Every structure is written in structure tokens, then in C-alpha cells.
Structure 1
Amino acid sequence: MTEQEILNQIEELNKKLEEVRKNKASVYSNVEIDSAEKERLHQEDLQRLRGLRLIDDDFMNACFDGYIEGAELLLRIILDKPDIRVKSVTTQRQMKNLLGRDICLDIDADDDSGKKYNIEVQRSDKGADRKRARYHSSILDAHLLKSGEDYSDLPETFVIFITENDVIGEGLPLYTIERKITNTGKPFDDGEHIIYVNGADKNASTELGRLMHDFFCINADDMNFRELAEKVRFYKEDEKGVAEMCKVMEDMRNETAKKIKIEAIISIMEKLKYTAEQAMDLLNIPQAERATYVGLVEKR
């Protein structure tokens, strides 16, 4: 690739940043947005909010964060265990891996018997890759056993993927994956469980099908389960809930713009052998923001 081609790519990146700046509010800290523009963006947020469903990652995170009753509903139906009692539930929990890739759990829950649950919601088939499920399970294990503890103390874990499509492809509403002894066919019983829920199966005659129906509902009034409808109604119709979701969407816009800048800085540094400072000069990044970007680039 010639230097001119690289410069052309940089120009395209700058155009993307300019587009985000114009359409997505609050990207640059030194840009003043008039009241009319703020109102337009707010109306865009409200329109987008009306179309969000539980299968949409960010909306699901808001609805289930700290919501024990909702997590219990999911687990009881998916696992067909009506006696599950959830002790704690959080969303977007970061799990570090000092020697490899970190993970972020959509829903992280514990029950009163010590079992650990990770629920992931995926619209993209690629995001529900089988080896991703395996990796999530392994990182859970690494975080659950403390130094000096016996391996037998490792708690039972469940990694559950709720997918928009039938990613396994066998036409079943639910797939349970567990290790077995291939010579005998008997279960290995190591306490690890991976489950895929087929969101395309909305059979109204089953609890699971009705649950999946609710995950794809736009309107709370169309939902089957009170526990889910109440949260959806709060974030779409209650003044406080709507304000919270609009703030979430604004934060997402800012984060998207930040990621574009970081990728651009790294690309320029690698291809043109520029320093971070030179790359930020080329991208016209304000001085007040540069320390933040240097820190983020160094972490990559």
C-alpha cells in the first residue's frame, strides 16, 4: 500500500468521524450543540427506544441489571427448574484474563446454592460461536476457584446463549451441551453446562416459546410475562426510565466515536510509522482529549 493510499484511508476515517460528530451528539467535548439540534437528537433517541426489544443487547442489559425476579424467570424456564432462587444478578460484568482475551458477561447471576450463570443475548450468529461458549465457560472457571481451594470446590456453571436464529441448525427450541464419556455414553458430570436457546422458536404452547416471543416484543402490552413487561414498560413509558435509556444511548454514541478514533490512530501509527501524537495531529484530535486517547491506545 502506497503512502497516498494510506492518506486516502485516513481521509475516509476523518469523514466517518465528521459524520458521527454531526449525527450523534456530544462526540467532541469542544463542540457546542444548539437546543434545536439537541431536541432533534433526543427525538431520534425516543424513536429508536420505541423499537428496542429484549433481544437487543443494550436494552436487555438495562432491563436485567440487578433485577433478580427477571433473572429467576429466565433461568426457571430455560432450565425447567421452578425452584431456582437467584441471589444476585448484574449485567456487563468484565472478567479479566491476564494471559489472554477478557470477556464481558451480558448477565452474570448466582443462585442460593452457589451455582453460577452467564446468559448471553446474541442477534448475530457469529457472536454465538460454539468456541466462544467454551471460552466463556473456561474464564468463569478460572475466576471461581481461588488459590489453595480444591478442584472439587469448583461450582456448577451454566453458560446460556439466547440467539435470534437457530445457530445450531437442528430445529430444536433448546440445545443442552454437556461432556460425556464417549466409550460408554455416560455423562462426565464435571458441572459444566452450555445451553443454546433458539429465539426463532416462539411456540405459544410452551413456556420457552412464550418467553422467546417476549424477547422480540416492542410493546410491553403484547408480552406474556409480567416480570418482563414491567421492566420494558418502565424503560419505554416511565419518564425516569426513558431518561435513563436516553443517557445509555448517548453514552453508546460517544463510545462508538471513541472507538473509531482509536482504530484510526492505531492504523496510522502502524502503516505510516507515526507516533501517537503525529497520528492525532493528522486526525485533528483536540489537545484536551489526547491524554485519554494515548492511554486507550497503549492498552490495545
Structure 2
Amino acid sequence: MISIKTELTPEEQHQKDLERLEQMRPMDDDLMREIFRNNIPLAEFVLRIMTGMDDLIITSEETQYDLEHLLGARSICLDVLATDSEGRKFNLEIQRSDRGASPKRARYHSSAIDVEFLKAKQDFSKLPITYVIFITETDVRGANRPIYLFDRQDTVTGEPFGDDEHIIFVNGAYNNPDDNSDLAKLIHDFGCRNDEDMYFDLMAESTHFYKKTEKGVSHMCKLMEDMRNDEKVIIAIKLLKRGKESLEEIAEDSGLSLEDVKDLAAQLDIIPA
């Protein structure tokens, strides 16, 4: 059995977290969610460039928006969900792996948003216009373009289907030194580790806060600590449900304290081996 129990001292673990933070870019989920959290100006700026809608006005924005309202259906957590002044919905997602950027995943995100925002007995005409935007680390479409835009249309005439569903893939690997467009510059900024190398102030300022200021760095280190604790809880629950290890063994293998494991067992009403 593989144990995740760390042998690092708190000081060593903190240093490791700082080193990990130093390597983070807006392309990384953990940093991306924080720089966009409660940051309507940044969301608006980024979405204007990606959609080409210069007059876009974002009225609300939320990170880690949970969609899990259909019983038995797969739940998803949206990286960023924004709404504009016309009621259009924009889902902005970081997809680091090619597998995570599949067309069917984009379709599912779009469908889940539809279900979330059409209330019981509402007419289907009330479905909002939706944009699902995947920022991918590699060029998953393979045409060396900065952006790929997808809408349904008649395959014979090319006439738009008119369902108001739009899917966009932004190629995070795009790097053309002759392209001076705002989109090319924005893609560059998403891949930057150093805010001083970024083109756009809004992206640089938010990145600087979470990577360079005492308050922002402390927040990010706390997030990393919480995520480690969450992973330990997940492992402990699996071991408790399997019922083959003692509480002491589960504590050792998960990295949780014995008291925490006992609390979990009590919450789950599990009598350990």
C-alpha cells in the first residue's frame, strides 16, 4: 500500500509550497480560480478578447460553481461562470490534459448549464445564450490556430441552427512571434509564471497579488494545505469502507491523526477492523 504520509517538517512543507507557487501560471487550475475569484473586471476583460465582443458587460461572476441538480447525473464544478448584462452565460475552463478537453465534455458542460438555468415550466425559448470556453494547454485541435469556434449548423447549406449554444477552444500552446493581437498576448499571459512578463495589467496585478504579496501567498499556501488534507480524508474514507485496516494503520497510511480517523469512522458509522 502506498502511503502519502509526509515526513517533511512544517517548515519544509511550507518551503515546498512556496516553490510550487513560484512555478504556477494562470494556466494552472489552483491559481486561475483565485485570480478570477470576485474579479469581474478581469473576467470581463478576458471574455471580451476571447469572444470578440468589445461591448460585453459582466454583471456577476463566480468560481467553482457546482452543477449537481439532476439525481444520479454526473456533477461538475465550473472553474468560472459569468453572466453578462444580457443574461448570457459564460463558462471559462482550464483544461491541462487533452483528455479533459474532449468535445463531449464541452457538450456536457453546455447541457448542464442549460439544465441549471431553465426553471420548471419555463418555455425552452428562455434558455440563455451560452458560451463554453476551454483554455487548453496543448493544441488539441491540431491546426495551429489561437482559437477554435464551434456552432451548430446545417451540414448542407451552412445555415446556423440557431440554438444559441457556442463552444470555444483557446489554444494555450499558440506561439506566433508575428501575431500581435490581443488574443495572442492573452494566451501568452496565461502561460506566464512571472507577472512582470505579462502584457496586460489586469492579469499581471491579480497574479502578482497571489504570488508575490504576503496576504496572497499566505492564502495560496493555505489552499494547498487544505487540498492535502482533503486528499487524506478521501484516502481514509476509502480505507475505512474497505474495512481491512485498523484505525492506527489508516491514520498512518492516510496521513491523518488517529483522532481525525476516529471522528471519520464515527461520522460514517463504521466499526473498524
Structure 1 residues 292 and 172 mapped into 2: Cα distance closer, same or farther (>3 Å)? farther
Q: CA deviation at 1:292?
A: 4.4
The answer to which of 203-212 and 157-166 deviates more is 203-212
| Residue in 2 that maps onto 1:247 | 222
1:99 to 72, 79, 82: 72
| Residue in 2 that maps onto 1:160 | 133
| Residue in 2 that maps onto 1:200 | 173
Is 2:239–2:250's contact at 8 Å kept on the other side of the alignment? no
The answer to which of 196-205 and 280-289 deviates more is 280-289
2-structure distance, mates of 1:292, 1:170: 52
- The one-character-per-residue Cα deviations of 1:134-184 (angstroms, maximum 9, x if unpaired) are 001100000110012111111100000000001111221111111111232
Structure 1 residues 259 and 86 mapped into 2: Cα distance closer, same or farther (>3 Å)? same
Q: CA deviation at 1:102?
A: 0.4
| Residue in 1 that maps onto 2:114 | 141
Letter in 2 for 1:145: L
Length-normalised TM-score, structure 2:
0.89
- Is 2:13 the counterpart of 1:41? yes
Superposition RMSD in Å: 1.8
Q: Secondary structure at the match of 1:183?
A: coil
Q: Secondary structure at the match of 1:22?
A: coil
Is 2:145–2:171's contact at 8 Å kept on the other side of the alignment? yes
Structure 1 residues 118 and 194 mapped into 2: Cα distance closer, same or farther (>3 Å)? same
Q: CA deviation at 1:294?
A: 6.0
| Residue in 2 that maps onto 1:122 | 95
1:57 to 29, 35, 40: 29
Is 1:122–1:128's contact at 8 Å kept on the other side of the alignment? yes
1-structure distance, mates of 2:105, 2:238: 24
In the alignment of these two chains, the number of paired residues is: 258
Is 2:65–2:80's contact at 8 Å kept on the other side of the alignment? yes
Q: Secondary structure at the match of 1:20?
A: coil
Is 1:70–1:228's contact at 8 Å kept on the other side of the alignment? yes
Letter in 2 for 1:254: N
Is 1:86–1:109's contact at 8 Å kept on the other side of the alignment? yes
Gaps of 5+ in 2: 252-260
Gaps of 5+ in 1: 1-11, 24-36, 269-275, 296-300
Q: Secondary structure at the match of 1:221?
A: helix
2-structure distance, mates of 1:157, 1:163: 19
Is 1:123–1:163's contact at 8 Å kept on the other side of the alignment? yes
Q: CA deviation at 1:107?
A: 0.5
Length-normalised TM-score, structure 1:
0.81
In the TM superposition, 1:207-222 aligns within 5 A as 207-222=182-197
